[in-house]
Structure 1
Amino acid sequence: MSSSIYSHIRHDPRFAELAARRRLFAGTMTAIVLVAFYGFVLLVAFWPEMIGRRLFEGSNLSFGVAAGMFQFALFWGLTYLYVRRANGEFEVLNQQIVNDALRAQK
């Protein structure tokens, strides 16, 4: 692509909107991951008796194991959500911006 196409894309207000929406979405996802991961690490470090506590009387499953499995499920779910939104909403807007820039070049 030529520099005039890049210039057209950079000056398109939808490009700024796309960048802002992606930044907000990625920031939110990052915050969720960091809170979940470091929250678990801090729980292990400062409240180990909670990690070893059984979920209910007679259970072989501890809170720590359940929390660890929840993290795997959470991270898989967040990955699915990110891929779905990136390949859907963000990609559609991206293609519109690029196609308009190419049409304006002709």
Structure 2
Amino acid sequence: MDQDVVQRVKSDPDYHKLVAKRSRFGWILTWSMMVVYYGFTLLCAFDKEFMGSRIGEGAMTWAIPLGVFVILFTVVVTAIYVRRANGEYDALTDAIKARAAKGEKVAA
């Protein structure tokens, strides 16, 4: 890649804004997923009595709905990220690319 284009992109304030927003949001979603996933795993490892206890009079235990929750939470977190990436992040990326392609100098 042409070094001039790289420097224009790196000096663009929208680029720094994009990197900061995407990183911060990515870490929030990562940590929330880790809490849910490892919370479920820790419950399975250290509270077997709870996970094996039945819900009501049926045969279903708490492990089943909690496991389904982990799967659904993963889908929801992915959908949230994709929605934000396709909206906010793509708009910033397109603006950065357009300015870099035109050779515009952006004041910092």
Q: TM-score, normalised by structure 1?
A: 0.91
Q: Residues 15-94 of structure 1 correspond to what in structure 2 (within 5 A)?
A: 15-55=15-55, 57-94=56-93
How far 1:102 moved relative to its partner?
1.1
In the aligned structure 2, how far is the partner of 1:27 from the partner of 1:71? Answer: 18
Counterparts of 2:59 and 2:80, CA distance in 1: 32
Residue 97 of structure 1 is matched in structure 2 by 96
Q: Which runs of 4+ in 1 moved over 2 A?
A: none
Q: Relative to total residues, which structure has the larger helix share, 1 or 2?
A: 1
Q: Which runs of 5+ in 1 are unaligned?
A: none
What is the RMSD of the two structures over their aligned residues, measured on CA atoms? 1.2
**Number of matched pairs:** 104
Which structure carries more relative contact order (alpha carbon 8 Å, separation 6+)? 2
Provide the secondary structure at the position in 1 that maps to 2:103.
helix
Identity of aligned residues (%): 32
Q: Distance in 2 between matches of 1:7 and 1:60?
A: 63
Q: What stretches of structure 2 of length at least 5 have no aligned partner?
A: none
1:9 Cα shift?
0.5
Structure 2 length normalisation: TM-score?
A: 0.90
SS at match of 1:54: coil
